[in-house]
DNA sequence: TGAAATGTTGGGGCG
DNA sequence: ACGCCCCAACATTTC
């Protein structure tokens, strides 16, 4: 048997259902096709993840084939060339991923090539879960409770053993794809923080289990503390499976290595990942349109000066700017801070969430259509089970609460590093002397606030009145 | 997985 | 000792 494994968002060997199946059946030809439309940070990640995967496969005697083109054309062409018996893949649950998967299935079947897809990306197949009325869940808690009641810990699939084969196929060169930035090379900060690929994913996961998992519930909200898993980009590229996280976490709880409140909180965050994909499967229009249709009439302002200041981390609100600069430098932002900056953009700046979504898409290494869509709509107040629109984060209070001593702010906004804690979240309230001792001249070293918090809040609430029924 | 405005309560200062 | 007022602390409601 000759089997093509069409690689998509499943760049791993361990617990990979399609790959495991393929290797059990015969000679495997793994093929990855250049994906259009990723953001810059994601392409950087993809480069390193593919390099790592290619190395792992080569060690097992199997070359990774890289190709460019329309996937249905490319895969059928290879299938014809090697006279393949079957094509397998793990499903992708975004609207375009579903469409492509269906087209592939259809065309292969027409060619008479056997094909089969697997779930390697989610704990629960979205099309199998409905509420008591037989409709898709729209609220997280009942959705997740239902998932928990039907999930059973199945065994994880080992890394497959491959049979060596002598099929020679042409492959693009990874370097020719030019996925890495050249000039300017903005990736140095990314390199320092991340190790893309399956090895890095497993390392990160074990470090989390050993040092942070048991502090998760109380520690996950503080951006200066390393209490989050940092697994999101690894999950996006499928370098680690959510089933493994589920399996290992429950095992840790069982042997009391991790307290159940911490472990279950972590798993519920994996649940939010499931929920956002679930929503996008059942309501694909939310990629473009608000889930809550009343928001079609929301009077967004879309002021490009404010949006630009937000992107560059120059809003004059330190916690917001710290987050935006962390994003720019590392391709990542702490979850708490994502909520703060998103609230600031959609409410203080009255910008449509799509502007934020597009920027995140380009700059995040964990950019993911489903999470990006669901989370921006959640913050903007128009999503499923969303935070109400009038829940407007106060960037000063949020900073005081979650970065009490200013550690996080000082890391990313170093021009404020000598400012006393008292003013770290509101430098404009510091007196001249304090500012000059800290070597801060507002408007020169650090901007004045681009909007006044109270005025902006009132304007946002007034805008909301327009669509309130 | 807010924040601000408004309402309530109770201790202490003071005439 | 008593009533009155002030206001912090907490609770509720509103956005």
Q: How far is the CA of A255 from the C1' of B8 (A)?
A: 49
A55, A66: one domain: yes
Task: Give the three-class secondary structure for A464.
Answer: helix
> Given this model, what pLDDT does residue A131 score?
95
Does residue A162 belong to any structural domain of this protein?
Answer: no
A436, A381: one domain: yes
A398, A434: one domain: yes
A106, A49: one domain: yes
A111, A253: one domain: no
CB proximity list for A193: less than 8 A, separation 6 or greater: A330, A331, A332
Nearest-nucleotide field for A220 (CA, C1'): B1
Q: Which of A82, A80, A101 is nearest to A18 (CA)?
A: A101
Query: Does the CB of A412 fall within 7 Å of any strand B atom?
Result: no
The model's confidence at residue A442, banded by pLDDT at 50, 70 and 90, is: very high
The model's confidence at residue A468, banded by pLDDT at 50, 70 and 90, is: confident
A363, A305: one domain: yes
Task: Yes or no: say if A218 and A195 are a contact pair by the CB < 8 Å rule.
Answer: no
Query: Does the CB of A130 fall within 7 Å of any strand C atom?
Result: no
Q: What are the Cα distances from residue A287, in Å, to A276, A277, A296, A319? A: 11, 11, 13, 28
Nearest-nucleotide field for A335 (CA, C1'): B1
How many structural domains does chain A have?
Answer: 3
Residue A265 has pLDDT above 80, yes or no: yes
Query: In angstroms, rounded to a whole number, what is the distance separating the alpha carbons of residues A260 and A263?
Result: 5
Residue A469 has pLDDT above 80, yes or no: no
> Given this model, what pLDDT does residue A301 score?
94
The model's confidence at residue A158, banded by pLDDT at 50, 70 and 90, is: very high
Does residue A166 belong to any structural domain of this protein?
Answer: no
What's the alpha-carbon Rg for chain A, to the nearest Å? Answer: 24
CATH of the domain at A27: 3.40.50.620
> Given this model, what pLDDT does residue A88 score?
98
Long-range contacts, A460-464 (Cβ 8 Å, 24+): A460/A347, A460/A348, A460/A350, A460/A389, A460/A392, A461/A390, A461/A392, A463/A298, A463/A299, A463/A350, A464/A298, A464/A381, A464/A389, A464/A390
Q: Which of A120, A137, A165 is the last residue of a domain?
A: A120
Q: Report the greatest alpha carbon distance in chain A.
A: 79
Write out the two tokens for A400.
Answer: 């005081």
Which contiguous run of DSSP H or E holds residue A75?
helix A71-82
Q: In what order do the strands lie in the sheet with A65-67?
A: A65-67, A27-33, A2-7, A86-90, A114-118
Q: What are the Cα distances from residue A1, in Å, to A21, A22, A54, A465? A: 12, 9, 22, 64
The model's confidence at residue A182, banded by pLDDT at 50, 70 and 90, is: confident
A95, A236: one domain: no
Query: In angstroms, rounded to a whole number, what is the distance separating the alpha carbons of residues A264 and A222?
Result: 19
Tens of pLDDT, residues A270-297: 999 999 999 999 999 999 999 999 999 9
Residue A407 has pLDDT above 90, yes or no: yes
Nearest-nucleotide field for A468 (CA, C1'): C15
Nearest-nucleotide field for A391 (CA, C1'): B2
Query: Does the CB of A257 fall within 7 Å of any strand C atom?
Result: no
Query: In angstroms, rounded to a whole number, what is the distance separating the alpha carbons of residues A435 and A419?
Result: 7
The model's confidence at residue A258, banded by pLDDT at 50, 70 and 90, is: very high
CB neighbours (10 Å) of residue A53? 23
The model's confidence at residue A246, banded by pLDDT at 50, 70 and 90, is: very high
> Given this model, what pLDDT does residue A221 score?
96
Residue A153 has pLDDT above 80, yes or no: no
Does residue A23 belong to any structural domain of this protein?
Answer: yes
Q: How far is the CA of A436 from the C1' of B3 (A)?
A: 32
Does residue A218 belong to any structural domain of this protein?
Answer: yes
A206, A273: one domain: yes
A91, A21: one domain: yes
Query: Does the CB of A269 fall within 7 Å of any strand B atom?
Result: yes
Q: How far is the CA of A121 from the C1' of B7 (A)?
A: 51
* End-to-end alpha carbon distance in chain A: 62
Average pLDDT in the A29-40 region? 97
A237, A333: one domain: no
- For CA atoms A55, A244, A146, A19, give the dihedral sign: positive
Q: Which of A95, A120, A145 is the last residue of a domain?
A: A120
Q: Which of A248, A282, A316 is the last residue of a domain?
A: A282
> Given this model, what pLDDT does residue A167 score?
83
Kindly report the average pLDDT of chain A as a whole number. Answer: 96
Does residue A181 belong to any structural domain of this protein?
Answer: no
Task: Yes or no: say if A405 and A390 are a contact pair by the CB < 8 Å rule.
Answer: no
Query: Does the CB of A466 fall within 7 Å of any strand C atom?
Result: no
> Given this model, what pLDDT does residue A163 score?
87
> Given this model, what pLDDT does residue A50 score?
98
Does residue A193 belong to any structural domain of this protein?
Answer: no
Query: Does the CB of A459 fall within 7 Å of any strand C atom?
Result: no
Q: How far is the CA of A454 from the C1' of B12 (A)?
A: 35
Query: In angstroms, rounded to a whole number, what is the distance separating the alpha carbons of residues A91 and A212?
Result: 31
Q: Which of A100, A141, A92 is nearest to A370 (CA)?
A: A92
CATH of the domain at A439: 1.10.579.10
A306, A258: one domain: no
A328, A246: one domain: no
- A49: domain range? 2-120
Tell me which residues of A are annotated as active site: 269, 272, 300, 335, 353, 376
Share of chain A above pLDDT 90, in %: 96
Tens of pLDDT, residues A72-125: 999 999 999 999 999 999 999 999 999 999 999 999 999 999 999 999 999 999
């Amino acid at each position: 048997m000759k089997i093509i494994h069409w690689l998509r968002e499943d760049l791993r060997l361990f617990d990979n259902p399609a790959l495991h199946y393929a290797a059990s059946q015969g000679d495997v030809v793994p093929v990855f096709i250049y994906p259009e439309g990723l953001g810059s940070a994601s392409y950087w990640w993809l480069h390193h993840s593919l390099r790592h995967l290619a190395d792992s496969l080569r060690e097992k005697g199997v070359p990774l084939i890289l190709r460019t083109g329309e996937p249905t054309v490319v895969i059928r062409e290879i299938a014809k060339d090697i006279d393949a018996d079957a094509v397998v893949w793990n499903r992708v649950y975004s609207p375009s991923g579903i469409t492509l998967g269906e087209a592939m299935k259809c065309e292969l079947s027409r060619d008479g090539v056997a094909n089969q897809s697997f779930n390697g990306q989610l704990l629960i197949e979205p099309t199998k879960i409905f509420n008591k009325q037989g409709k898709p869940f729209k609220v997280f808690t009942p959705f997740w409770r239902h998932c928990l009641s039907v999930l059973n810990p199945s065994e994880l699939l080992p890394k497959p053993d491959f049979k060596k084969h002598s099929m020679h196929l042409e492959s693009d060169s990874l370097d020719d794809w030019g996925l890495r930035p050249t000039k300017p090379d903005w990736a140095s900060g990314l390199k320092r923080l991340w190790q893309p690929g399956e090895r890095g994913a497993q390392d990160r996961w074990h470090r989390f289990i050993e040092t942070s998992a048991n502090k998760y519930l109380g520690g996950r909200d503080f951006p200066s503390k390393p209490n989050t898993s940092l697994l999101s980009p690894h999950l996006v590229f499928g370098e680690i499976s959510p089933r493994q996280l589920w399996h290992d976490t429950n095992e840790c709880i069982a042997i009391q290595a991790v307290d159940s409140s911490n472990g279950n909180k972590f798993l519920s965050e994996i649940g939010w990942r499931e929920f956002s994909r679930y929503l996008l499967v059942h309501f694909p229009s939310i990629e473009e349109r608000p889930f809550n249709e009343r928001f079609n009439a929301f009077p967004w302002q879309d002021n490009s000066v404010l949006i630009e200041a937000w992107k560059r981390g120059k809003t004059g609100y330190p916690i917001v700017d710290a987050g935006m600069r962390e994003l720019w430098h590392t391709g990542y932002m702490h979850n708490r801070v994502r909520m703060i900056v998103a609230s600031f953009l959609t409410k203080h700046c009255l910008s449509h969430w799509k502007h934020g979504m597009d920027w995140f898409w380009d700059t995040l290494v964990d950019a993911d259509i489903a999470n990006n869509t669901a989370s921006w709509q959640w913050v903007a107040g128009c999503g499923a089970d969303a935070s109400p629109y009038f829940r407007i984060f106060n960037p000063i209070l949020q900073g005081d609460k979650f970065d009490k001593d200013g550690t996080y702010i000082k890391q990313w906004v170093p021009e404020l590093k000598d400012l006393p804690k008292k003013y770290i979240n509101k430098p404009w309230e510091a007196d001249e002397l304090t500012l000059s001792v800290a070597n801060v001249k507002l408007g020169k070293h650090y901007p004045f606030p681009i909007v006044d918090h109270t005025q902006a809040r009132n304007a946002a609430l007034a805008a909301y009145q327009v669509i309130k029924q």
